[in-house]
Amino acid sequence: MKNFKFLTLTAAVAMLGFGASAALAHDHPDHDAQHYSYELTNAEGAVIGSVMLKEAKTGVLITIDAEGMSAGSTHAVHIHETGKCSPDFTAAGGHFNPSGHEHGMMHGEGQHAGDMPNLHASADGTVKQEILNTMITLEDADTEDGRHTIHDADGSALIIHEGADDYTSQPTGAAGGRLACAVLAEPKE
């Protein structure tokens, strides 16, 4: 009876291990074109979290899991127009804005395709938040329903800012400096 339990436990561990390997492989862009996972780094180059993208019927579901924020702080998060983070995150350029709109979800002539709701850090400085961006796609080209690909020629990056987005000020919502970055799509150039 003990041997049977051991074999069952061994089989279960082996199956869990296989499942974990399959899940990690599934997160890698080369294995599933509709499910991406990226490292989020701070200005010192340390990994402080991850960004996961999943294509949905009406946009892209973005899951941000990060640490190292100030307790209870609020931070703007945007998709930026260039898929570069170094040297100080300025290489990511401005907000992803292929339609040429003004900045801000509360602006009468807004919003950029890269504008999203603010992130809210918990008391321990961590962030775990999901955002559905209905203006972008992970497809290789813009969609018929008007969503823009973040896999364009110069790629794209996700930036977390030091402050909150006020959703109206130009050109960035008075969000302050750049705190963290993740390259979402490398430039094709």
Mind listing the pLDDT tens digit for each residue in 150-189? 999 999 999 999 999 999 988 888 899 999 999 999 998 6
pLDDT confidence of residue 5: 34
Provide the strand spans (E) within the chain.
35-42, 47-56, 59-66, 74-75, 77-80, 119-120, 127-133, 136-137, 148-149, 156-161, 178-185
Nearest CA to 41 among 92, 94, 89, 74? 89
Is the separation of the CB atoms in 121 and 141 below 8 Å? no
pLDDT confidence of residue 189: 65
Instruction: Say how far apart CA 121 and CA 164 lie, in whole Å.
Output: 11
Q: pLDDT at residue 31 above 70?
A: no
pTM above 0.85, yes or no: no
Instruction: Say how far apart CA 164 and CA 153 lie, in whole Å.
Output: 29
